[in-house]
């Protein structure tokens, strides 16, 4: 068996997330994840508070849940509207049982911020026209 050095080994984070998720489900608890939201996270921004969002990742709250090594992907309803959710595993801050708070927190992995793009000059004309729906 060959050994990998530390720079080649995969992160333990996705494995621990899957393990805590399974533990929650096996014990009748509702698994939730806390996610640090940045440009790489696909969630409804309306529900983001202080740069974070808490998501119910229970089997009854999600459709097509995939707890992968790189991404957590599923569909969930927000105010009755189905949304596609995609969370890089590195952005998961914690996974826990809603009922008792037991779970695991993870250190945040700092990512380099993309350099800001220069803003295009704003047109001096009137605002864009809008369409009205007439029934």
Q: According to the model, what pLDDT value does residue 45 have?
A: 94
d(CA 84, CA 75): 5
Q: According to the model, what pLDDT value does residue 108 have?
A: 81
pLDDT tens figures, 59-72? 999 999 999 999 99
Q: According to the model, what pLDDT value does residue 117 have?
A: 56
What's 7's DSSP letter?
A: T
Query: Structural domain boundaries of the chain?
Result: 13-105
Domain 13-105 carries which CATH code?
A: 2.30.30.220
Check whether 7 has a pLDDT greater than 70: no
- Residue 31, token pair as written in the block: 């698994």
Q: What is the mean pLDDT of residues 95-99?
A: 96
User: In the chain, pLDDT over 90 holds for what percent of residues?
Assistant: 70
d(CA 124, CA 79): 38
Cβ proximity of 32 and 55 under 8 Å: yes
| 92-97/63-67 β-pairing | unpaired
pTM of the model: 0.74
Three-state secondary structure call for residue 109: coil
């Amino acid at each position: 068996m060959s050994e990998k050095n530390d720079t080649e080994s995969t992160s333990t984070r996705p494995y621990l997330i899957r393990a805590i998720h399974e533990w929650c489900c096996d014990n009748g608890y509702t698994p939730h994840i806390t996610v640090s939201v940045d440009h790489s996270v696909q969630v409804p921004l309306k529900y983001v508070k202080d740069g974070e969002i808490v998501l119910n990742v229970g089997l009854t709250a999600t459709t097509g849940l995939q707890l992968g090594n790189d991404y957590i992907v599923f569909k969930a309803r927000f105010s009755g509207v189905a949304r596609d959710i995609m969370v890089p595993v590195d952005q998961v801050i914690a996974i826990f049982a809603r009922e008792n708070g037991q779970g695991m927190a993870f250190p945040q992995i700092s990512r380099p911020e993309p350099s800001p793009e220069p803003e295009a000059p704003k047109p001096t004309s009137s605002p864009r026209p809008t369409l009205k729906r007439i029934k």
